[in-house]
Structure 1
Amino acid sequence: MKTPFILIPALLFLLTISNLALSQDSIRMTTNNGTESKELRSIIDFEGIYMKTLNFGDAALNEKYYEVTLQEYKNGQFVKSTVLFDGAESDFFKINGNSLSLRFLVKLADGQLKVALYGPNFTSAKKYFKLSSRTDDYVLKDFFGSPEQTIRLSPTESNPVLAIITPSVHKDGSASYCEVVQTGVKPEDFGKHFHIPHYFLISIRFKS
């Protein structure tokens, strides 16, 4: 039985409305990578420092607070979650408007992960975490396929936005970092799927 032609525009209309509703119920995230200065980038790379700016935009952000946490995983198992910043502690940190930019600084040195968050008119306390593998094996990665890509986030759930990982090692001895963060595998399953012994996730959650 053929589908009546009159149903096709109706189905397309419903699909369009559905996609529009989905976009309205999510928050846009884009990124800026590090610094434009080649000299400064060289120093940052040498010192094991990573800079990442994440930009969030949507009308739903207005009057919201946000919480940034770090989750640690070992041998495929969740270890603990640590609050890096909780804006609900004061109305000073409430988002006034439809946009927010946060800059993350991550340093990997001397067997430690050091994290700090820079937001509008504030700097978070520095937090330290012990590394289990060689320091040089860890890198900071985002989930963007390209710098121009836009990622949609849940306005109510916790969203992984950055990962500090070691690479996925193949049978031939080669290794890949991009394979880990750009395959569609859930971040909390990286350890099990890619056999990564130790990694961290940085997540953000918006709340009223």
Structure 2
Amino acid sequence: MVKEIWDGKTKSEKTVFNSKDLAEAGLDKVKDTTLKIKVMSKLTPKNKLKVTFAFDRFSNTKEYDAIDRKDYSLRNLVDESKLPISYGEKFYFMAYILPYKRKDGSSSWCEVGSSGKDIENWGKKFGIKHYLLFEMKIE
């Protein structure tokens, strides 16, 4: 699931993909205790955030609207914010964010990504105009 947050408000929630939909191809189950995902992202010349999720036997690419800025950063929230992962429960695992502008004029992505809780309100708390939140559920 991806949540698109603009001006502090969730504007859309969309399923990126559901592994249950891949059952016919035999891709709906992980045959290991580790789920390996490679994530590649970039800002396209058409001002879109392009994100590819690559697994062992398939990949999925999506594009999302962006504002005209070149300083988006893809953040690993599980690692950066030490967010818990529980079987059968949703959790945020990634965010594609703009930086927080400090009073001294410097920018920080880490301060946002490591702030942990209340992730859906980063726009209000840090004054971030746009960001994407990627949510996952392991069953």
Please classify the TM superposition score into its range, dividing by the shorter chain length: 0.7 to 0.9
Code of the residue aligned with 1:96 in structure 2: it is K
Mapped partners of 1:128, 1:77: distance in 2 = 20
SS in 2 for 1:137: coil
Residue 116 (structure 1) aligns with: 52
Percent identity over the alignment is 28
Deviations, residues 18-62 of structure 1 (Å, cap 9, x unaligned): xxxxxxxxxxxxxxxxxxxxxxxxxxxxxxxxxxxxxxxxxxxxx
Q: Which runs of no fewer than 5 residues in structure 2 stay unpaired? A: none
Residue 5 (structure 1) aligns with: none
- TM (norm. structure 1) is 0.59
Return the structure number with greater helix share: 1
Mapped partners of 1:152, 1:162: distance in 2 = 13
Deviations, residues 72-101 of structure 1 (Å, cap 9, x unaligned): 101110011222221011331212232211
Q: Which has the higher contact order (CA 8 A, sep 6+)?
A: 2
Determine which of 14, 26, 34 is the counterpart of 1:99.
34
SS in 2 for 1:180: helix
Determine which of 195, 199, 202 is the counterpart of 2:127.
195
Code of the residue aligned with 2:118 in structure 1: it is K
Determine which of 174, 181, 198 is the counterpart of 2:113.
181
Question: Does residue 170 of structure 1 match 2:106?
Answer: no
Q: Which runs of no fewer than 5 residues in structure 1 stay unpaired? A: 1-68
Residue 140 (structure 1) aligns with: 74
SS in 1 for 2:15: strand
Root-mean-square deviation (CA, aligned residues, Å) is: 1.9
Mapped partners of 1:112, 1:103: distance in 2 = 20
- Contact preservation (8 Å) 1:155, 1:205: yes
